[in-house]
Structure 1
Amino acid sequence: MPSTVDVGNIDEPEDVSTLVKKVVKSGKPERTKNLRSSYEGGFSDSYIEKLPAPARRRFEKAGIDLSHGYPERPPSEKIPIFLDEAVAIRNEEFPYTERGKNADPGKKALIGAAKEVRHLTKHIGTEIVGLQLSDLNDKQKDELALLIAERVVVFFRDQDLSPQKQLELGEYWGTVEKHAQQVHVPGFHGITVIWPDLFQKLGLNTSFKNSLGTGTSNWHTDLTHELQPPGITHLHNDTIPEVGGDTIWASGYAAYDKLSPAFQQFLEGKIAVYISAHQYINRESPLSGKQNIEREHPIIRTHPATGWKSLFVNRSMTRRIVGLKKEESDRILEYLFGVFEKNLDIQVRFNWKPTKEGVGTSALWDNRVSQHFAVWDFEGKEPRHGTRVSSLAEVPYFDPNSKSQREALGLSLE
């Protein structure tokens, strides 16, 4: 899920003119009480009295310290207020190893150990039956990375998975994203909490009539504003509604193949601007309103493990196409968003319900080649709770010699 729940937004301080004078004079952020009021860290958002029983049992079994509350936020002094602070958190390229690149194409170690491998649709979505993620060896992890890259999203039900083991898996596949503002499991900054009940308490106000576009009920790709956006993202839901609460994924590979050759050629090499979910104050223009982080990436990108081209845009986080007039950019992007959202044959819808009590379900997807949408049909009447770990990958790139998925698989391009 995305970091779209803006629990860290701030109101303009009452003494803003005084603040601006101090900022201009000193060149440093003035951390006044008013400015920090909405950015209080630690356990200020604790909602432990509503923590679902399955989640509590999972945490207690794993030795997670809940004595101070749940969940935790980064310390107040670490939460960025100014735009340049937020951008500086990860603004330099770091090494990345694509674990799926050298994996066995046949994935014999992974598939051979499974009881069953179920492809949920023709080209997106696979469920692995009879394996525990916590037991995978490195060879199997590499093969799973390749399977995720090929199938976009892979599911594992009936998982007895601790938050620590989930984090360990994420660290194997890349540098784990530690969100500057979002709530996390106490003591584990890299494990983000995805909990609709908490987000409602913090002011999200999702309802039946306005569920579309609120929280995670929108088509999005996680953290596209990063210099190195996530590759594999792993959401483990330990508390799942009896009915509903599904998630839908759409394939960026298939979205690219839906386009005409002329349109594909037009888009290849084009750059778009992607924004953060959270907003910050521009130090140089503090009265101009809060602003998103912006980052430029190619609209068509190549996956380093499969070598396949993917359409890399999403309605929530793609702002504009560089070099085009606004009306041109808006119309093209609206069309591209619709390719993901309207074509049911490039989507998979998954119900998280495990087959056994006391365990959860994991979904692992590749953010480089997908969008997803959390369905709020359970309307908050039953608890839904999970933990997410995102492994940051390479700087997005486009290889003009790469192929599309259908071209690589020898399928019809008509």
Structure 2
Amino acid sequence: MSGQVAKAPNLGNKQKNYQFRNWSSTFKCVPELYFRPKSEDELVNIVNLARENHKTIKVVGSGHSPSDLACTNEYMINLDDLNHVLEFDPKSRIITVEAGIRLFQLNQELKWRGIALSNLGAISDQSIAGAISSATHGTGINFGNLSTQVIGLTMITASGKKIHCSEVKDAEIFKAALCSVGALGIITRVTIQCEPEFRLEAEQQPMKLDTILNDLKEIVCSAEHVRFWWSPHTDDCAKQAETIGYFRETILGYHLYQFLLYLTRFYPPTIPRLAHLMFLIKFNKGTLMVDDSYKVFNSDCLFEQYVNEWAIPWERTAEALRKLGQWVRENDEKGIYVHFPVEVRFVDKDDIWLSPSYGRKAHTMFKDELTKAYPKFKDFLELREELDPEGIFLNPYLRRHLLGEYGPKVDAAQFKARL
């Protein structure tokens, strides 16, 4: 009697008791199994294993969301080993990369080929899949978020099937997947339309908040990429970009600022004075820089931060900041202070289903609010149900915010690390 023993599927590197913590150290988790696959085939095997064992999957990158978006108690997948350039057409400047490539790696790969992304955010630690899944954006009134530069992608669904989609092939899946927070499947390949590499001239100058708000339209349209920082508890702003030397940036801008912020936890009334001091150190002197585009787009985020982000019609910027300023002043007496500058960026509209250009950021809202704010939200949920009927790609965060579920099993408190 003879027989064959079935060969176990290749799952790549896997680990038990892995401790995941997001970048801001606000949430943490210990998934049942942590995978680092090196191929799409290994990813398919992991998805099949999860489906057979009734487990859920969460794919993580740099973990830059300050929420529990990346947390799970079951299967976690890291795509860092899927970080290669797969195809490049120098004539059309179209490049296809694996989904785990970090933006700083991608920037180098593009530079070597004489091309660049049209726009970038301030941070390049994210993977390309994570950046587009969360509609990461830079600034520029005529520039969309990073997802708008993507012209095609490949995704593994809950069935283990690979879907190749674009504007002309499975267009609805494509528009949904471009900002899907991991709810539709695992993005494995991304095809990007680039442009010839270019350099940017960036000027930073101190301005008063009222000056910016009174001339906002003219200022926003004065250059391709405009942003400004407002220092709460003051009327001080800094418009656009900067490059400064090691001592001011690293010794004062990083170590001293971080230490002083730590001290304010024990005596919060010093925060307004600190805000004014750090503006004088970091922003009070005008600067001019010319460098490769991605180096100008990027800026050092210094230390771990717990932040939130609001998306509003840019025409209401002045109204929003004036109301926020009023709120800050009214709450000074209550001992409520704003530690960090408010960064204001501008982004063009798009037709991506869950893009914040439709309204507000998904992570600040729940199902009923999302349905009202996003015209395609119902379509997104129907597509999610079609692609993943068993909810393999739903973690507690997505169950709360997309499906409107409540209770201990989906409560963010189970992952809370610290305030």
Smaller-chain TM-score bracket: under 0.3
Q: How high is the TM-score relative to the length of structure 2? A: 0.24
Q: How high is the TM-score relative to the length of structure 1? A: 0.24
Q: Which structure has the greater CA radius of gyration? A: 2
Q: Between Structure 1 and Structure 2, which shows a larger proportion of helix residues?
A: 2
